[in-house]
Protein backbone atom coordinates (compact mmCIF):
# COMPACT_ATOMS: atom_id res chain seq x y z
CA UNK A 1 0.00 0.00 0.00
CA UNK A 2 1.58 3.28 -1.06
CA UNK A 3 0.91 6.67 0.40
CA UNK A 4 2.70 10.01 0.32
CA UNK A 5 5.61 10.08 2.78
CA UNK A 6 4.33 13.23 4.50
CA UNK A 7 0.81 11.96 5.33
CA UNK A 8 0.19 11.90 9.06
CA UNK A 9 -0.36 8.56 10.84
CA UNK A 10 -3.78 9.78 11.93
CA UNK A 11 -4.82 10.34 8.33
CA UNK A 12 -3.67 6.83 7.46
CA UNK A 13 -5.77 5.40 10.25
CA UNK A 14 -8.88 6.28 8.29
CA UNK A 15 -8.02 3.44 5.89
CA UNK A 16 -7.81 0.90 8.73
CA UNK A 17 -11.12 -0.71 9.65
CA UNK A 18 -11.82 -2.49 12.89
CA UNK A 19 -13.66 -5.80 12.89
CA UNK A 20 -14.62 -8.50 15.36
CA UNK A 21 -13.70 -12.04 14.32
CA UNK A 22 -15.94 -13.99 14.66
CA UNK A 23 -18.26 -11.09 13.91
CA UNK A 24 -21.26 -12.63 15.69
CA UNK A 25 -19.49 -12.75 19.08
CA UNK A 26 -21.17 -9.97 21.13
CA UNK A 27 -18.20 -9.49 23.51
CA UNK A 28 -15.74 -9.16 20.64
CA UNK A 29 -18.13 -6.76 18.84
CA UNK A 30 -18.24 -4.60 21.97
CA UNK A 31 -14.42 -4.60 22.21
CA UNK A 32 -14.15 -3.73 18.51
CA UNK A 33 -16.66 -0.87 18.87
CA UNK A 34 -14.83 0.45 21.95
CA UNK A 35 -11.48 0.29 20.18
CA UNK A 36 -12.95 2.00 17.12
CA UNK A 37 -14.26 4.83 19.29
CA UNK A 38 -10.91 5.20 21.05
CA UNK A 39 -9.04 5.27 17.77
CA UNK A 40 -11.69 7.40 16.10
CA UNK A 41 -12.31 4.79 13.41
CA UNK A 42 -15.50 3.23 12.17
CA UNK A 43 -16.10 -0.41 13.00
CA UNK A 44 -16.75 -2.32 9.79
CA UNK A 45 -20.23 -3.56 9.14
CA UNK A 46 -20.10 -7.27 8.26
CA UNK A 47 -21.61 -6.63 4.83
CA UNK A 48 -19.02 -4.00 3.86
CA UNK A 49 -16.42 -4.92 1.26
CA UNK A 50 -13.01 -5.72 2.69
CA UNK A 51 -10.86 -2.59 3.11
CA UNK A 52 -7.08 -2.42 2.61
CA UNK A 53 -6.26 -2.99 6.28
CA UNK A 54 -8.26 -4.47 9.11
CA UNK A 55 -7.59 -4.39 12.81
CA UNK A 56 -9.23 -7.61 13.93
CA UNK A 57 -10.32 -8.23 17.52
CA UNK A 58 -10.10 -12.02 17.91
CA UNK A 59 -10.52 -14.22 21.01
CA UNK A 60 -6.72 -14.60 21.27
CA UNK A 61 -5.29 -11.24 20.28
CA UNK A 62 -5.57 -8.02 18.31
CA UNK A 63 -4.14 -8.43 14.82
CA UNK A 64 -3.56 -6.28 11.77
CA UNK A 65 -4.58 -7.84 8.49
CA UNK A 66 -3.21 -6.39 5.32
CA UNK A 67 -5.16 -6.88 2.12
CA UNK A 68 -7.48 -9.27 3.89
CA UNK A 69 -8.73 -10.55 0.55
CA UNK A 70 -5.18 -11.71 -0.35
CA UNK A 71 -4.76 -13.63 2.91
CA UNK A 72 -1.39 -12.08 3.83
CA UNK A 73 -0.27 -13.35 7.22
CA UNK A 74 -1.66 -11.08 9.98
CA UNK A 75 0.69 -9.06 12.15
CA UNK A 76 0.41 -8.88 15.93
CA UNK A 77 2.76 -8.01 18.77
CA UNK A 78 3.99 -11.26 20.28
CA UNK A 79 6.84 -10.74 22.73
CA UNK A 80 7.03 -14.48 23.44
CA UNK A 81 8.74 -14.93 20.05
CA UNK A 82 11.71 -12.74 20.94
CA UNK A 83 14.89 -14.42 22.10
CA UNK A 84 15.66 -13.02 25.52
CA UNK A 85 16.44 -16.24 27.32
CA UNK A 86 19.37 -17.74 25.39
CA UNK A 87 22.85 -16.53 26.43
CA UNK A 88 23.06 -14.44 23.22
CA UNK A 89 19.57 -13.01 23.74
CA UNK A 90 20.15 -11.78 27.27
CA UNK A 91 23.80 -10.80 26.93
CA UNK A 92 24.73 -7.34 28.07
CA UNK A 93 27.51 -7.57 25.48
CA UNK A 94 25.10 -7.33 22.58
CA UNK A 95 25.39 -4.07 20.66
CA UNK A 96 22.11 -2.47 21.80
CA UNK A 97 22.96 -3.15 25.46
CA UNK A 98 26.48 -1.80 25.01
CA UNK A 99 25.11 1.33 23.33
CA UNK A 100 22.65 1.98 26.14
CA UNK A 101 25.38 1.69 28.76
CA UNK A 102 26.78 -1.80 29.08
CA UNK A 103 26.49 -4.06 32.08
CA UNK A 104 26.93 -1.34 34.75
CA UNK A 105 24.33 1.08 33.41
CA UNK A 106 21.68 -1.19 31.94
CA UNK A 107 20.07 -2.51 35.15
CA UNK A 108 17.36 -0.12 36.34
CA UNK A 109 18.37 2.58 33.87
CA UNK A 110 15.28 4.43 32.72
CA UNK A 111 15.26 4.30 28.92
CA UNK A 112 12.67 6.11 26.85
CA UNK A 113 12.16 4.29 23.58
CA UNK A 114 10.73 7.25 21.66
CA UNK A 115 10.00 5.24 18.49
CA UNK A 116 8.41 2.10 19.90
CA UNK A 117 7.09 0.45 16.69
CA UNK A 118 6.52 -3.25 17.41
CA UNK A 119 8.30 -2.89 20.78
CA UNK A 120 11.03 -5.44 20.06
CA UNK A 121 13.93 -3.25 21.19
CA UNK A 122 11.94 -2.08 24.22
CA UNK A 123 11.30 -5.69 25.24
CA UNK A 124 14.97 -6.55 24.84
CA UNK A 125 16.02 -3.59 26.99
CA UNK A 126 13.46 -4.46 29.66
CA UNK A 127 14.68 -8.09 29.60
CA UNK A 128 18.15 -6.76 30.40
CA UNK A 129 16.76 -4.94 33.43
CA UNK A 130 16.01 -1.44 32.12
CA UNK A 131 12.81 0.38 32.95
CA UNK A 132 11.41 1.35 29.58
CA UNK A 133 8.86 3.98 28.61
CA UNK A 134 7.73 3.33 25.06
CA UNK A 135 6.31 6.22 23.03
CA UNK A 136 4.39 5.50 19.81
CA UNK A 137 2.51 8.08 17.78
CA UNK A 138 0.51 5.79 15.50
CA UNK A 139 -2.67 4.88 17.43
CA UNK A 140 -3.04 1.68 15.39
CA UNK A 141 0.49 0.50 16.18
CA UNK A 142 0.03 1.59 19.80
CA UNK A 143 -3.18 -0.46 20.08
CA UNK A 144 -1.30 -3.56 18.85
CA UNK A 145 1.54 -2.82 21.29
CA UNK A 146 -0.84 -2.42 24.23
CA UNK A 147 -2.47 -5.73 23.36
CA UNK A 148 0.93 -7.49 23.11
CA UNK A 149 2.04 -6.02 26.44
CA UNK A 150 -1.16 -7.13 28.14
CA UNK A 151 -0.70 -10.72 26.90
CA UNK A 152 3.00 -10.62 27.88
CA UNK A 153 1.97 -10.17 31.53
CA UNK A 154 0.74 -13.77 31.42
CA UNK A 155 4.05 -15.35 30.42
CA UNK A 156 6.65 -12.86 31.69
CA UNK A 157 5.19 -10.36 34.11
CA UNK A 158 8.66 -9.41 35.45
CA UNK A 159 9.69 -7.97 32.11
CA UNK A 160 6.23 -6.67 31.11
CA UNK A 161 5.88 -4.65 34.30
CA UNK A 162 9.12 -2.79 33.56
CA UNK A 163 7.52 -1.39 30.38
CA UNK A 164 4.95 1.37 30.04
CA UNK A 165 3.39 2.82 26.92
CA UNK A 166 2.55 6.43 26.08
CA UNK A 167 0.58 7.15 22.91
CA UNK A 168 1.60 10.42 21.30
CA UNK A 169 4.29 12.27 19.42
CA UNK A 170 7.56 11.92 21.29
CA UNK A 171 8.53 15.54 20.52
CA UNK A 172 5.56 16.63 22.63
CA UNK A 173 5.76 13.82 25.24
CA UNK A 174 9.51 13.87 26.02
CA UNK A 175 9.69 17.28 27.77
CA UNK A 176 7.02 16.13 30.25
CA UNK A 177 8.82 12.96 31.40
CA UNK A 178 10.07 13.60 34.94
CA UNK A 179 12.56 12.75 36.31
CA UNK A 180 14.49 12.98 33.06
CA UNK A 181 15.34 9.55 31.64
CA UNK A 182 18.98 8.45 31.60
CA UNK A 183 18.80 7.37 27.96
CA UNK A 184 16.55 8.20 25.02
CA UNK A 185 16.61 5.56 22.31
CA UNK A 186 15.56 6.33 18.72
CA UNK A 187 14.90 3.94 15.86
CA UNK A 188 13.10 5.96 13.19
CA UNK A 189 12.06 4.11 10.02
CA UNK A 190 15.11 3.38 7.91
CA UNK A 191 15.35 4.98 4.46
CA UNK A 192 13.46 2.84 1.91
CA UNK A 193 15.58 0.06 0.46
CA UNK A 194 15.90 -0.24 -3.28
CA UNK A 195 14.33 -3.69 -3.02
CA UNK A 196 11.56 -3.60 -0.44
CA UNK A 197 11.55 -7.42 -0.61
CA UNK A 198 14.73 -7.28 1.54
CA UNK A 199 12.82 -5.64 4.38
CA UNK A 200 11.35 -7.94 7.04
CA UNK A 201 7.58 -8.41 6.72
CA UNK A 202 6.69 -6.71 10.02
CA UNK A 203 8.77 -3.67 9.00
CA UNK A 204 7.10 -3.54 5.58
CA UNK A 205 3.73 -3.58 7.30
CA UNK A 206 4.86 -0.87 9.72
CA UNK A 207 5.98 1.31 6.80
CA UNK A 208 2.57 0.81 5.17
CA UNK A 209 0.87 2.00 8.36
CA UNK A 210 3.14 4.85 9.50
CA UNK A 211 5.07 5.87 6.36
CA UNK A 212 8.60 7.28 6.60
CA UNK A 213 9.75 9.18 9.68
CA UNK A 214 10.91 12.20 7.70
CA UNK A 215 10.81 14.37 10.84
CA UNK A 216 13.46 12.26 12.67
CA UNK A 217 16.06 15.11 12.88
CA UNK A 218 13.60 17.18 14.97
CA UNK A 219 13.00 14.17 17.20
CA UNK A 220 16.77 13.82 17.72
CA UNK A 221 16.91 17.43 19.01
CA UNK A 222 14.02 16.74 21.40
CA UNK A 223 15.77 13.55 22.59
CA UNK A 224 18.99 15.46 23.34
CA UNK A 225 17.04 17.96 25.45
CA UNK A 226 15.27 15.17 27.37
CA UNK A 227 18.07 12.67 28.09
CA UNK A 228 20.34 12.98 31.11
CA UNK A 229 23.19 10.80 29.92
CA UNK A 230 22.94 9.76 26.29
CA UNK A 231 20.89 9.41 23.13
CA UNK A 232 21.25 6.19 21.14
CA UNK A 233 20.19 6.01 17.49
CA UNK A 234 19.74 2.79 15.49
CA UNK A 235 20.74 3.11 11.83
CA UNK A 236 21.34 0.80 8.88
CA UNK A 237 25.01 -0.26 8.86
CA UNK A 238 26.06 1.97 5.99
CA UNK A 239 23.63 4.90 6.36
CA UNK A 240 24.68 8.43 7.24
CA UNK A 241 24.34 9.18 10.96
CA UNK A 242 21.06 10.89 11.89
CA UNK A 243 23.16 13.72 13.37
CA UNK A 244 26.88 14.44 13.18
CA UNK A 245 29.23 13.52 15.98
CA UNK A 246 28.36 10.13 17.53
CA UNK A 247 31.23 9.33 19.92
CA UNK A 248 30.81 5.58 19.65
CA UNK A 249 29.18 3.09 17.34
CA UNK A 250 28.23 -0.48 18.22
CA UNK A 251 27.73 -2.67 15.18
CA UNK A 252 25.24 -5.50 14.92
CA UNK A 253 23.93 -7.63 12.06
CA UNK A 254 22.91 -5.11 9.37
CA UNK A 255 22.44 -2.27 11.88
CA UNK A 256 24.52 -0.08 14.13
CA UNK A 257 23.82 1.93 17.28
CA UNK A 258 25.27 5.46 17.36
CA UNK A 259 25.87 6.92 20.81
CA UNK A 260 25.60 10.65 21.56
CA UNK A 261 26.57 11.56 25.14
CA UNK A 262 24.85 14.53 26.74
CA UNK A 263 27.42 17.02 27.89
CA UNK A 264 26.77 19.49 30.70
CA UNK A 265 23.82 21.78 30.03
CA UNK A 266 24.13 25.52 30.60
C1 LIG B 1 11.34 1.54 12.82
S2 LIG B 1 9.98 1.63 13.89
C3 LIG B 1 10.67 1.18 15.45
C4 LIG B 1 10.85 -0.29 15.61
C5 LIG B 1 11.16 -0.66 17.04
N6 LIG B 1 12.48 -0.21 17.44
C7 LIG B 1 11.04 -2.15 17.28
O8 LIG B 1 11.95 -2.75 17.89
O9 LIG B 1 10.02 -2.74 16.92
C10 LIG B 1 9.67 3.34 14.10
C11 LIG B 1 8.41 3.65 14.90
O12 LIG B 1 8.56 4.92 15.51
C13 LIG B 1 7.36 5.63 15.45
N14 LIG B 1 7.70 7.06 15.51
C15 LIG B 1 8.47 7.76 14.64
N16 LIG B 1 8.59 9.04 15.03
C17 LIG B 1 7.89 9.15 16.19
C18 LIG B 1 7.63 10.23 17.08
N19 LIG B 1 8.09 11.47 16.84
N20 LIG B 1 6.88 9.99 18.18
C21 LIG B 1 6.40 8.74 18.43
N22 LIG B 1 6.59 7.68 17.61
C23 LIG B 1 7.33 7.88 16.50
C24 LIG B 1 6.74 5.21 14.12
O25 LIG B 1 5.33 5.43 14.12
C26 LIG B 1 7.12 3.74 14.06
O27 LIG B 1 6.12 2.94 14.64
Domains: count for the chain: 2
- State in Å: Cα 131 to ligand 1 middle: 18
In a domain, 214, yes or no: yes
- State in Å: Cα 117 to ligand 1 middle: 4
In a domain, 266, yes or no: no
**Per-residue pLDDT for 48 more than 70?**
no
What mean pLDDT, rounded, does the chain reach? 84
Half-sphere exposure of residue 210: CA atoms within 13 angstroms, side-chain side = 25
Q: Are residues 121 and 251 in the same domain?
A: yes
State if residue 207 touches ligand 1 by the CB under 6 angstroms criterion.
Answer: no
Across 48-73, average pLDDT: 76
Atom of ligand 1 nearest to the CA of 170: 20
State if residue 186 touches ligand 1 by the CB under 6 angstroms criterion.
Answer: no
pLDDT in tens, 143-161: 999 999 999 999 999 999 9
What's the domain range around 49? 9-70
**Per-residue pLDDT for 264 more than 90?**
no
Q: Are residues 15 and 109 in the same domain?
A: no
Q: Are residues 132 and 36 in the same domain?
A: no
Q: What is the CATH number of the domain that holds 97?
A: 3.40.50.150
Q: Are residues 96 and 58 in the same domain?
A: no
In a domain, 2, yes or no: no
Q: Are residues 50 and 146 in the same domain?
A: no
Mutate which of 12, 64, 117 for ligand 1? The one with the most ligand atoms within 8 Å of its CB, which is 117
In a domain, 161, yes or no: yes
pLDDT at residue 8 in the model: 31
Q: Are residues 83 and 215 in the same domain?
A: yes
CA–CA distance, 189 with 208 (Å, rounded to integer):
11
Q: Whose CA is nearest to atom 17 of ligand 1?
A: 115
Put simply, whether the predicted model's pTM sits higher than 0.85 gets the answer: yes
pLDDT in tens, 80-98: 988 776 665 566 668 999 9
CA–CA distance, 165 with 60 (Å, rounded to integer):
21
| DSSP H stretches of helix in 6-106 | 9-13, 26-39, 95-100, 102-106
- State in Å: Cα 199 to ligand 1 middle: 16
State if residue 142 touches ligand 1 by the CB under 6 angstroms criterion.
Answer: no
- State in Å: Cα 116 to ligand 1 middle: 5
Across 179-195, average pLDDT: 86
pLDDT at residue 12 in the model: 38
pLDDT in tens, 116-132: 999 999 999 999 889 99
Q: Are residues 99 and 209 in the same domain?
A: yes
Q: Are residues 193 and 231 in the same domain?
A: yes
Q: Whose CA is nearest to atom 3 of ligand 1?
A: 117
CA–CA distance, 16 with 140 (Å, rounded to integer):
8
- State in Å: Cα 118 to ligand 1 middle: 8
CA–CA distance, 262 with 170 (Å, rounded to integer):
18
Q: Are residues 114 and 218 in the same domain?
A: yes
Q: Are residues 119 and 172 in the same domain?
A: yes
Percent of all residues in the chain with a pLDDT value above 90, rounded to a whole number:
60
Q: Are residues 166 and 57 in the same domain?
A: no
Q: Are residues 179 and 106 in the same domain?
A: yes
Domain C-terminal end among 51, 70, 89: 70
Amino acid sequence: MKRPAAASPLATNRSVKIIADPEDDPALRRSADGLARRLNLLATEPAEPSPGMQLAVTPLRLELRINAEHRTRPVCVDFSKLDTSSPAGRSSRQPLAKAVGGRKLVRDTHVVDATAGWGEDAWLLASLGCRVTMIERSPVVAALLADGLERAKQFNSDVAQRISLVVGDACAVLPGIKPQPGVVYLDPMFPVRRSSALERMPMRVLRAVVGDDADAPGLFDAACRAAQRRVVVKRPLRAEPLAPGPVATHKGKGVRYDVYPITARP
